[in-house]
Every structure is written in C-alpha cells, then in structure tokens.
Amino acid sequence: MTDETPIQQQMESLRTEIERHNRLYYIDAAPEITDREYDRLLRELEELENQYPEFSTPTSPTRRVGGAPLDRFESVRHTVPMMSLSNTYSKEELAEFDRRIRKLIPEEIFTYILEPKIDGVAISLRYENGVLVRAVTRGDGATGDDVTANIKTINSIPLRLSDMMPPTVLEVRGEIYMDTAGFSKLNESRQEAGLEPFANPRNACAGSLKLLDPREVAKRPLDAIFYATGELDGIAFETHEQMLLSLKNYGLRITPKYWLNGKIDDVLDRLDELENMRHEFPFEMDGGVIKVNERRLYDELGFTAKSPRWAVAYKYEPEQAETTLHAISIQVGRTGVLTPVAELEPVQLAGTTVKRATLHNEDEIRRKDIKVGDRVIIEKAGEIIPAVVKVVTEKRTGTEQVFEMPNECPVCGSEVEKRAGEVALRCTNLQCPAQVKNWLTHFASRGAMDINGLGESLVEQLVDSGLVKNPAELYSLQKVEVLGLERMGDKSAENLLTGIEASKHRPFEKVLFGLGIRHIGKGAASILANEFKDIDTLMKADLAQLENIYDIGPIVAQSVVEYFLNPETRAVIEQLREAGVNFEQVDTGGSSELEGLTFVLTGTLETMTRDEAGDKIKKRGGKVSGSVSQKTSYLVAGANAGSKLEKAESLGVTILTEQQLMDLLGSDEQLEDKQTGQLGFGF
Ligand code: IVH
C-alpha cells in the first residue's frame, strides 16, 4: 500500500488513463474515446493540478507545452556517439556490403532487417527510470543541442515509459519528421501570411526544432519514429527486431513496416517493395536501411570512422522529372498573396501527371534564375503541387524570357504591395474577388458573426455568382436570389436568411472581429470594444490613443488606423450600419442578479458544457472559480463529480444540480428582455 491521499491516487489514475489513450491513439492507431472525451480527461487533470499543485508531476500529460522561451540551447555530450550510416546507391554496392560482412564473420548465421529510411532530423531521447529526462539533436555526433522542451510538445513521444519496471537508463534514437500532409498545410499558411515557405518537410522539421519557444513548436505537425539505441543500463536486446518491439511496448513509435530476410537477394527484392510503398508512409522516405538483426554481432563487426559496419543505407533516386516551363501564371490567394505558378509541359512524376509547379515567390524565381521557356527539373517534396528544383541551364537556347511579377493584381487590377518583413507581393484591395471569399468566411465564422449555414462552399457560390462583394451585401440578399444557388431548397434559403438577420444583433466585439482587420484577433477585438464602446469613437482614435491601451501593441494600433483610413472599408462599415448591424457595446454587466456570488462547476453537465454554463453565469454578474473554498457560494455538480463535490460537502457549500442552476439562470431570452428593458429600449 502507498501512503498517497485519495486525491493523489485519483490524479495518478487520471494520468495513466490519459497515457493509455495516448498510446491507443498514437502507437496502436486504435483510439477508444473521442477527442472531446480525451480533452475532458485532460481538463479534469488540469483542474486538479491547479487545485492541488503539490501533487502535480513534471511528467504529467498536461506538461507538454510549458515554460518560457529559451535564449539558446544547451550543448550536451552524447554518452554514446551518434553515428551516421554509409550510403549505397546501387544493388551491386549492397551485395558488396553483404560480402564484406560475411568475410568478417564467416562462421555466423544471421539475418538482415530492412526498414524505411526516414528523411527527418535525428534525435536521442534519454529515459531514466522510465522518465524522459533529455532530448538531444545529433549535432556533430559527439555533442548536440538540448531540445527537450521542444520534443515534449510532440504528443506521440511518451513523457513516461509504459512499464512498471523500466530500465535505469534507456537512450533511444530515432527521427523527428514533419508529417507530409501537415507540411503542405504549414507551407500554404506561411505563403498566405507572406512568409518564405520551407523547401521540404525535413527543412521545416529542422527549422521547427530550432525554435526557442516551445509554444510555437507545439503548433508544428511533428512526429517521431525510433530505430536505434544509445546508452543502455538495466536492459539488453538480442536482436534489432526484439529492440523495436520493446520500444513499441514502452509506448514509442516504431516503423510501421519492416522485413526480415536471411539472404541479401531477398533484401534487394524487398527494397523494391518498400520503394513502391513510398507514398503510403506519413513521412518522406529517401531510401531503406539494412541492418544485421543479431545485436551480439555488432561488437565483432565494429565501426568505421563514422558509421557502423552492421548497417547501411540504400538511397532511392529522388522523384524528379524534367520538363519545359511554358509560362508563369499568377494565383491570388485568400489573403491577397500573389503566387507565381509554373505552367509546364505535362510530365509523369511519381505516378501522376504534373502540369503545374509552385514557384513560391519572386525571390525564389530570381534565386533559381528561372526563365520562361526553360527546361526545368521538378520534384515532389511532400507538397500536393510539386516544386521546381532547378533549371537545366545547358539546354538554354537563348530564347528564354525573364519573368517580371506584375505591378497590379491579375484578378482585380489593384496595386500590389510588399509589406515589411515579407517576401510576398499582395493585392491591396480587400474587395478583390480573390480575397472577398476569405473575408466573408471569416465574417460568418462562429467566433465572429456566427451566421448559421454560411460555410465556405456557399460563400464560394455567393461570390462567384456576383451576388455578394462584401459582408455588407449579405444583408440585402433576397430569397429569390438565394434560391437560385446550387442545392438550395426553400428551407435552407429560409434558414440562411434568418441566420443573416440574427447576426445583426451580435455584440460589438464580435462585429469588430468579423471586420477582419489585420492582427485583430478575438482578444484584441474585445479589448477595443470595451475601450471605445462604439465604432465612431474607435474610427476617430489615433495611433497614440490606441497604443496607450494596455495589451494593444504598436502593430495592432497601426493596423487599426490603416484599416479605418481606407475609404473602401469605411464604405463597407457604413453599409453595414445602414443594414442595422450593431456597432455599439451593450453593457452586459447590466444584469447583476448573480453579483457577489461565486460558482464552481464540476462533473459533466448534460445540456451544456461547463464553459457555456460559466458564460451564462458571468453574463448575469456572477463569478466562476476553478476551486472550492469557503468563499464558494454554489457548487454545480454534474455527472461523475469527484473531489470538488467532496470538498464542497465538507465545507458546507450549497450544492446545485444542473436543473437547479438552469432555474436560477432563467433563459437567455428572459435575460435579454430584462437587459433591453433596463436600457430603455423595451416596448
Ligand atoms: S540507424 C548507428 N535507421 O539516417 C546509426 N537511421 O544517414 C544509426 N535514419 O543518422 C542509424 N531512418 O538520422 C537508422 N531506419 C533508420 C533510419 C535512420 C533514417 C537517419 C538517421 C541516420 C541517418 C544516416
């Protein structure tokens, strides 16, 4: 028996439960619960940790992203050097590798194991007594950078090994990589933000690991696969396969596929099979790694200066093709960024016909000296649209043309600009049809005007049909017009128009957020709404006034001023105002029936989430707290309420059921009636 308190035991069982689900999700690909249920467990643990910080542990699953940004990474010496592999490029070279080994150990019978070679960044993780203590990059093989805080943000990497009796020291080595689909998305959003895209997933991964702020790293789609060991204490493995399977048991991800073969000829066949699967893996694979499976032979085979003799890499040809670049067209993205695209002579690449390749931006065209009419090499680098790697300059005829980026937007003809710190050119016209879709989708989104039924595809249709050119025009849509759209029945047209009508009454801060002013997120919108109370006062504010507001920085201030200086946006605001959209802060503090009361919410509520219930309480002047104390007025207990309920009972705090809470709150409609009445707008 332990002398842990019931709370401690509850927290520990939550931690193991969360770790178990992590494993089911990331390692076994067989989740048992939904993301929502998982989040609920995590939140429950978080709440307990807030309440009982003395019982929180550094390996808690809530501790993946934390700590302040670093100034620099510490250098750490590898206890066992991190070697690399010698490369082979032909099957003859591999046969030679086999002959060399057989010569060194002529008496031995052994097998080979073949795994994919992952094109990422090598890492060494050190677990002491089952706890992740350090993650170090390869560096020069002898010393690397301590990137522990960054590595901890990768959800599939266990902070504790799942084993009751873990070894004293387990150093595992593997590859951090960026998931190919995630890479494409990341590059897309970098491009939209006017930033330089990464050349390939490996660069994106390396760049991510070098970030000093783990919170930024957490946003990058990184993952890891482990395939080797460093220092070991208290554990030994007979074969490589056995090692892989134990790593998997500990909760570490290993290659989804490997092959065991006694003869090199069979390995060569499997290499082809592996190459054919190239695009089925979520990571970029640049070859296969062939290793002797029997670890007892490693010492005998030994090392050359930089690589082991018992393993070798076989590199596949990169997936490239040569073709002619006929023209360069310009695409205008949803944020107005102009992207040059190569129009190619169609060519077969990795099983698909390629007609276009991205050129990213003007700098890239200059750097690679790409001209119209060039013969170019294109490559797939995890992106849906391939990239141009280089020009085949030997094949130039002298007729190739230098390409100039346009001075105006090819979609609307407005001027283009380059913002400070960006590589991209942007269209300056917010009403450019290419940008309007983005603006409308944002305007209608849940955090902004929350217009039910107005999703991306409908926005697409509204803009393409010319019905809507800015958010204000939504309010003059007629039912007959909406009915003319694809798949639009009477009922959905009705719903859409009701949704649009209802959005006129959204709080000022939501309207402000919906305007899509650059750099104004929900938080800044709310601050500005509270500070200025109405749009006219805000429009008159100057830079100094804005910068003076706590939490509003110079970038936001500048952006607000610029936005309201633009006559086009001013016109849209006027149109919105005429349509009846709310541009004033209504003092929601007006209702004060729960003033002075503090609520704690616990357990699972049936009709709403705890957040929603919290909002309703706050709207009526009440306070919501995370922990029960003498000051708690009411504890609202949902299903499976735990420690907080016990504590409330022991302190004699009044306990409410969900129904009792709802009775206390009344409906939102009742509240709104009351508020308008109070403010004198009632009938
Ligand atoms: S084994 C002692 N296995 O490729 C050598 N390496 O070019 C241990 N790599 O440094 C490495 N996939 O960063 C091994 N399945 C795999 C690999 C792999 C990728 C990387 C690793 C290594 C480099 C060698």
What are the pLDDT digits (tens) for 1-51?
A: 557 899 999 999 999 999 999 999 998 888 999 888 998 999 999 999 999
Stretch 80-92: mean pLDDT, rounded?
94
**Residue 677: band (very low, low, confident or very high) from pLDDT cuts 50, 70, 90:** very low
**Residue 590: band (very low, low, confident or very high) from pLDDT cuts 50, 70, 90:** low
Stretch 93-119: mean pLDDT, rounded?
96
| 311 φ/ψ sector (left φ>0, alpha ψ -120 to 50, else beta) | beta
Nearest-CA residue for ligand 1 atom 7 is 85
Same structural domain, 173 and 297: yes
Residue 578, Cα to own-chain centre: how many angstroms? 39
Structure confidence at residue 678 (pLDDT): 31
Nearest-CA residue for ligand 1 atom 12 is 117
Taking residue 273's Cβ as centre, other Cβ atoms within 10 Å add up to 12
- Residue 308: CB within 6 Å of ligand 1? yes
Nearest-CA residue for ligand 1 atom 2 is 83
Give the separation between CA 179 and CA 205, rounded to whole angstroms.
Answer: 9
User: Is it the case that residue 429 has pLDDT exceeding 90?
Assistant: no
In a domain, 401, yes or no: no
Residue with tokens 């065991």: 260
The residue ranking higher by pLDDT, 231 or 641, is 231
- Residue 121: CB within 6 Å of ligand 1? no
Closest ligand 1 atom to the C-alpha of 115?
Answer: 15
Q: Which long-range CB contacts under 8 A does 66-70 form with residues at least 24 apart? A: 66/149, 66/214, 67/149, 67/214, 69/212, 69/213, 69/214, 69/215, 70/149, 70/212, 70/213
In a domain, 49, yes or no: yes
Phi, psi of 653 (to 5 degrees): -75, 140
In a domain, 609, yes or no: yes
CB 198 within 8 A of CB 186: yes
Between strands 425-427 and 416-418, the pairing is antiparallel
Q: Which of 129-138, 330-339, 476-485 has the lowest average pLDDT?
A: 330-339
Q: Which residues pair with 226 in a beta bridge?
A: 174
CA of 137 to the centre of ligand 1 (A): 13
**Residue 329: band (very low, low, confident or very high) from pLDDT cuts 50, 70, 90:** very high
**Residue 317: band (very low, low, confident or very high) from pLDDT cuts 50, 70, 90:** confident
Question: Catalytic annotation on 117?
Answer: yes
* Residue of 91, 117, 306, 355 with catalytic role: 117
> 3-class SS at 114?
strand
Structure confidence at residue 375 (pLDDT): 97
In a domain, 415, yes or no: no
Give the separation between CA 611 and CA 626, rounded to whole angstroms.
Answer: 11
- Residue 224: CB within 6 Å of ligand 1? no
Same structural domain, 485 and 505: yes
- Residue 228: CB within 6 Å of ligand 1? yes
- Least Cα distance to 557 among 585, 583, 584, 524 occurs for 524
> What's the order of all strands across the beta sheet hosting 259-261?
87-88, 311-315, 285-292, 112-118, 259-261
Q: Is the dihedral of CA 8, 13, 18, 22 positive or negative?
A: positive
User: For the domain that residue 124 is a member of, what is the CATH number?
Assistant: 3.30.470.30
Nearest-CA residue for ligand 1 atom 10 is 84
Stretch 166-192: mean pLDDT, rounded?
91
Range of the domain at 456: 433-579
In a domain, 590, yes or no: no
Give the separation between CA 116 and CA 106, rounded to whole angstroms.
Answer: 28
Same structural domain, 33 and 162: no
- Residue 122: CB within 6 Å of ligand 1? yes
Give the separation between CA 348 and CA 323, rounded to whole angstroms.
Answer: 10
Identify which of 399-403, 602-606, 664-668 has the greatest average pLDDT: 399-403
Same structural domain, 571 and 664: no
User: For the domain that residue 33 is a member of, what is the CATH number?
Assistant: 1.10.287.610
User: For the domain that residue 340 is a member of, what is the CATH number?
Assistant: 2.40.50.140
CA of 174 to the centre of ligand 1 (A): 7
What are the pLDDT digits (tens) for 510-522?
A: 999 999 888 888 8
Same structural domain, 330 and 257: no
Query: What are 81's two structure tokens?
Result: 């050097």
Q: Which of 156-160, 341-345, 373-377, 382-386 has the lowest average pLDDT?
A: 382-386
**Residue 681: band (very low, low, confident or very high) from pLDDT cuts 50, 70, 90:** very low
The residue ranking higher by pLDDT, 374 or 526, is 374
* CA-to-CA dists, residue 552 to 15, 268, 421, 539, angstroms: 38, 62, 21, 16
CA atoms within 13 A on the CB side of 497: 14
User: Is it the case that residue 181 has pLDDT exceeding 50?
Assistant: yes
Same structural domain, 306 and 346: no
Same structural domain, 243 and 352: no
Q: Which of 392-406, 490-504, 534-548, 649-663 has the lowest average pLDDT?
A: 649-663
Amino acid identity, position 121: V
Query: What are 247's two structure tokens?
Result: 């790593």
CA of 201 to the centre of ligand 1 (A): 17
- Residue 113: CB within 6 Å of ligand 1? no
Same structural domain, 288 and 161: yes
User: Is it the case that residue 670 has pLDDT exceeding 70?
Assistant: no
User: Is it the case that residue 680 has pLDDT exceeding 50?
Assistant: no
Domain boundary (315, 335, 366) is at 315
Same structural domain, 168 and 33: no
Closest ligand 1 atom to the C-alpha of 117?
Answer: 12
Structure confidence at residue 369 (pLDDT): 96
Stretch 625-647: mean pLDDT, rounded?
87
User: Is it the case that residue 402 has pLDDT exceeding 50?
Assistant: yes
User: Is it the case that residue 675 has pLDDT exceeding 50?
Assistant: no
| Helix residue ranges per DSSP H, 321-451 | 362-367, 433-444
Structure confidence at residue 651 (pLDDT): 87
CA of 117 to the centre of ligand 1 (A): 7
- Residue 289: CB within 6 Å of ligand 1? yes
Stretch 171-192: mean pLDDT, rounded?
90
Stretch 148-168: mean pLDDT, rounded?
94
Stretch 212-233: mean pLDDT, rounded?
95
The pTM of this model reads 0.67
In a domain, 153, yes or no: yes
What letter would DSSP give residue 280? G
What are the pLDDT digits (tens) for 200-214?
A: 899 999 999 999 999
Closest ligand 1 atom to the C-alpha of 119?
Answer: 19
Structure confidence at residue 553 (pLDDT): 84
pLDDT over 90 percentage in the chain: 62
**Residue 119: band (very low, low, confident or very high) from pLDDT cuts 50, 70, 90:** very high
Between strands 654-656 and 634-637, the pairing is parallel
Structure confidence at residue 341 (pLDDT): 94
Give the separation between CA 558 and CA 544, rounded to whole angstroms.
Answer: 10
- Residue 607: CB within 6 Å of ligand 1? no
User: Is it the case that residue 596 has pLDDT exceeding 80?
Assistant: no
Same structural domain, 325 and 373: yes
Same structural domain, 187 and 330: no
Structure confidence at residue 474 (pLDDT): 96
User: For the domain that residue 484 is a member of, what is the CATH number?
Assistant: 1.10.150.20
**pLDDT mean across residues, the chain:** 89
Same structural domain, 305 and 367: no
The residue ranking higher by pLDDT, 169 or 276, is 169
In a domain, 664, yes or no: yes
Domain boundary (368, 394, 420) is at 394
Residue 272, Cα to own-chain centre: how many angstroms? 34
Closest ligand 1 atom to the C-alpha of 121?
Answer: 13
User: Is it the case that residue 411 has pLDDT exceeding 60?
Assistant: yes
Amino acid identity, position 196: E
- Residue 175: CB within 6 Å of ligand 1? yes
Stretch 217-227: mean pLDDT, rounded?
96
Give the separation between CA 374 and CA 376, rounded to whole angstroms.
Answer: 6
**Residue 555: band (very low, low, confident or very high) from pLDDT cuts 50, 70, 90:** confident
Look at the chain and report how many structural domains it folds into: 5
Structure confidence at residue 267 (pLDDT): 96
* CA-to-CA dists, residue 113 to 56, 311, 326, angstroms: 42, 9, 46
Beta strand spans in 243-336 (E):
259-261, 285-292, 311-315, 320-332
Nearest-CA residue for ligand 1 atom 13 is 122
**Residue 673: band (very low, low, confident or very high) from pLDDT cuts 50, 70, 90:** very low
In a domain, 521, yes or no: yes
Domain boundary (315, 350, 365) is at 315
